[in-house]
Amino acid sequence: MRVPRFPHPLALLSACVLIAAALSYVVPAGAYDRREDAATARSIVVAGSYHAVPRAPVGAFQAVVGIPRGIAEAASVIALVFLVGGAFAVVERTGALVWGVHRLIGALEGRTLLVIPLVCLAFAAGGALENMQEEIIAFVPVLVVLTGRLGFEPLTAAAMSVGAAAVGSAFSPVNPFQVGIAQQLAQLPLFSGWRFRLVLLGVALVVWIALTMRHALRTRRAVGATAAEAAAPPRGRAGTILGLVIVAFALLVLGMARLGWGFDELSALFLIMGVAAGFVAGLGLSGTADAFAEGFRAMAPAALLIGFARAISVVLAQGHILDTLVHGLVTPIAGLPVALSATAMVAAHVLIHVPVPSVSGHAVLTLPILVPIADLIGLSRQVTVLAYQTGAGLCELVTPTNGALMAILAAAGVRFEGWLRFALPATAALLLLGTAAVWLGVAIGY
């Protein structure tokens, strides 16, 4: 697919911030009433409560002020990006990472293509189980080294990680931050209808993995041994450093799954890992600090992208137009036949997810409005939730307002238009699959 060349992602997101400010002058200001929901522990909109509010146009200077406010709101995620980048800069300087990847590839003995489906399935599981996104940034340095050593482009690393995780999240039967919140808002039994979604998830992953492998094989190049491998540390020291990395990732999984860790705890974990790796490798205090600083410099664009993306929603909220945009998109759905209404819901979710790139925030904003509409026209609540998952979840693959996606692409060295050339056709195919599942759900009374 031919995709026009985009400006630098920071310029693109800055333009989006200014567009959001400009819309505040032409889009009527409005708001829904909100209430605290005990089931989801979140503030959700009250259906039928949309009303006009005084206009609050956002001037050019206010729009620019929204950027540091967005950075401030995303401070925990940005700290994680910097400290992950610094920690892996230390590990890369020791040579242990490249040495370990080289040994892994040698152990596979001609079965290196298995890496793609295995890594895809691992990240898809992370997406399906806990909506993994920003956490993927920690894996990017390892995946880029691995795919590069296999002769694949960095885009393949992004497709195996953030791409597979987004697909897993979009069709997950158990993702608590997506289908879990949506079903609670729709007053459905938690994770009900999982068998239908599980089959859909399996088909979607087959499509994504096949397209990822096709791209990887078409762009593969021959590679040889690298200078970094030749300069790798002694085997015992390299093994110790890689052991620290493995322990850090094990603690990451344990912390998120069992200990309730957030971004601050993960940032501290990688800071400790990086310092320990530096001292094991004999870099000393100054050498380790210098490697961290090098990693900070490399990750600065990725970190800023997250803050700039957050600034868009800051400006939309400041201008009191976000609820108006949602109201304008969902209201016409009530007048459509059932099957067309379900299809229109998918399309509306795709459009709404551009200014609302959080799947949980998207759910609490739209589902309380759409569920009464679905009841009115005879559309089942399970299909209503499935339409939300399809539209909002798959939009995560291509929207530039998804700060995590943009940061991961930047960390991997993948240009946004290059990603779109791969991801847009794949996303379109998955949207067709999801829409077909919505139609099937209507037909069988899912």
- For all residues of the chain together, what is the average pLDDT? 89
In whole angstroms, what is the distance from residue 145 CA to residue 119 CA? 14
**What residue type is assigned to position 196 of the chain?**
F
Q: Which residue has the tokens 């990847």?
A: 101
Distance (Å, rounded) from C-alpha 61 to C-alpha 52? 25
Q: Does residue 107 have a pLDDT over 80?
A: no
Q: What band does 227 get if pLDDT is binned at 50, 70 and 90? A: very low
- 24 vs 89: CA distance, rounded Å: 43
Q: What is the pLDDT of residues 195-220, one digit of tens each?
A: 999 999 999 999 999 999 999 999 98
The string of pLDDT tens digits covering residues 383-408 is 999 999 999 999 999 999 999 999 99
What residues have CB less than 8 Å from 330, skipping those under 6 apart? Answer: 345, 348, 366, 369, 370, 373
The answer to the question of residue 44 being in a domain is no
Instruction: Assess contact for 357 and 309: CB atoms under 8 A.
Output: yes
Angstrom CA distances, 179 to 219, 382, 395, stand at 36, 10, 15
Beta-bridge partners for 44? 35
In this structure, the number of other CB atoms found within 10 A of the CB of residue 410 comes to 26
Please check whether residue 52 lies inside any domain of the structure: no
- 276 in any annotated domain: yes
pLDDT tens profile 74-102: 999 899 989 988 998 998 888 887 777 77
Q: How far apart are CA 70 and CA 403, in angstroms?
A: 11
Arithmetic mean of pLDDT, 377-382:
92
- Spatial neighbors of 278 by CB under 8 A, at least 6 apart, are 90, 93, 94, 284, 287, 288, 291
Q: Is residue 50 part of a domain?
A: no
Cα→Cα distances 17→13, 188, 223, 232, 314, Å: 6, 37, 42, 45, 9
Q: Is residue 427 part of a domain?
A: yes
Return the structure tokens found at 135: 């956490």
Residue owning tokens 């003995």: 109
**CB distance 93 to 284 below 8 Å:** no
Residue 189 included in any domain: yes
Domain count, the chain: 1
Alpha carbon distances (Å) from 430 to 295, 363, 394, 403: 36, 20, 8, 22
Q: For 38-79, how does the pLDDT look when each residue is reduced to its tens digit (9 = 90+)?
A: 777 788 888 889 999 999 999 999 999 999 999 999 999 899
Give percent above pLDDT 90 in the chain.
61
* Other Cβ atoms within 10 Å of 151 Cβ, number: 16
| 3-class secondary structure per residue, the chain | CCCCCCCCHHHHHHHHHHHHHHHHHHCCCEECCEEEECCCCEEEECCCCCEECCCCCCCHHHHHHHHHHHHHHCHHHHHHHHHHHHHHHHHHHHCHHHHHHHHHHHHHCCCHHHHHHHHHHHHHHHHHHHCCCHHHHHHHHHHHHHHHHHCCCHHHHHHHHHHHHHHHHHCCCCCHHHHHHHHHHCCCCCCCCHHHHHHHHHHHHHHHHHHHHHHHHHCCCCCCCCHHHHCCCCHHHHHHHHHHHHHHHHHHHHHHHCCCCCHHHHHHHHHHHHHHHHHHCCCHHHHHHHHHHHHHHHHHHHHHHHHHHHHHHHHHHHCCCHHHHHHHHHHHHHHCCHHHHHHHHHHHHHHHCCCCCCHHHHHHHHHHHHHHHHHHHCCCHHHHHHHHHHHHHHHCCCCCCCHHHHHHHHHHCCCHHHHHHHHHHHHHHHHHHHHHHHHHHHHHCC
Question: Domain for residue 47, yes or no?
Answer: no
In terms of DSSP bridges, do strands 42-45 and 34-37 run parallel, antiparallel, or are they unpaired?
antiparallel
Q: Is residue 4 in a domain?
A: no
CB 328 within 8 A of CB 29: no
Domain that holds residue 395: 9-37+60-444
The C-alpha angle 429, 435, 437, rounded to 5 degrees, equals 105
Which pLDDT tens digit goes with each residue over 313-332? Answer: 899 999 999 999 999 999 89
The Cα–Cα gap between 132 and 253 comes to: 11
pLDDT at 226: 53
**Higher-pLDDT residue of 103, 162:** 162
For 282, the token pair is 């004999």
Rounded Cα distance, 54 and 45, in Å: 19
pLDDT at 233 over 70: no
The CB-side HSE value for 320 (13 A sphere, CA atoms) comes to 15
* pLDDT level of residue 5 (50, 70, 90 thresholds): confident
Whole-angstrom distance, CA of residue 71 vs CA of residue 54: 27
